[in-house]
Amino acid sequence: MKPDTFKKRLDPKNPPNLHDYDEAFRSFDWKLARKELEWFDGTKINAAYNAIDRHTHTWRKNKIALYWEDEDGTSQQFTFEQLSLLSNKLGNILKDFDVNRGDRVFIFLPRVPELFISFLGTLKIGAIAGTLF
């Protein structure tokens, strides 16, 4: 999909967070970025937590976190809270199959919502996620 087509379809009640990429790139500062990320003991970071879960405890929980549209125009939207719940379910299923921290999980799916949910769920349990397209 062309960027201009996508922009026209955005919900005006749910504007994007990034308004000017070039300006954001020019003014980027790692010191400020580090303050936006949550760090865990031993200065570890969980990308799934920072991308999704931390927003479920704020006013952003019902904001759209993922817009997905296929080539036929079928679309889905997921809020931060929905992505968190779905990826938690996937993480729990992986644990039921004895997938543990440090194990490798490769996901063989096209770019559908389940790919992103699976990737996040894998990261949440501390496993290493990889995609195979």
pLDDT tens digits for 51-69? 999 999 999 999 999 999 9
Greater confidence (37 vs 102) lies with 102
User: Amino acid identity, residue 73?
Assistant: G
Q: What is the mean pLDDT of residues 81-109?
A: 97
CATH code of 18-131, in short, is: 3.40.50.980
Domains of the chain by residue range: 18-131
CA geometry: angle at 45 spanning 127 and 16, to 5°?
100
Residue 79 has pLDDT above 90, yes or no: yes
Residue 82 has pLDDT above 90, yes or no: yes
Say which residues have a Cβ less than 8 Å from residue 110's Cβ, sequence separation at least 6: 133
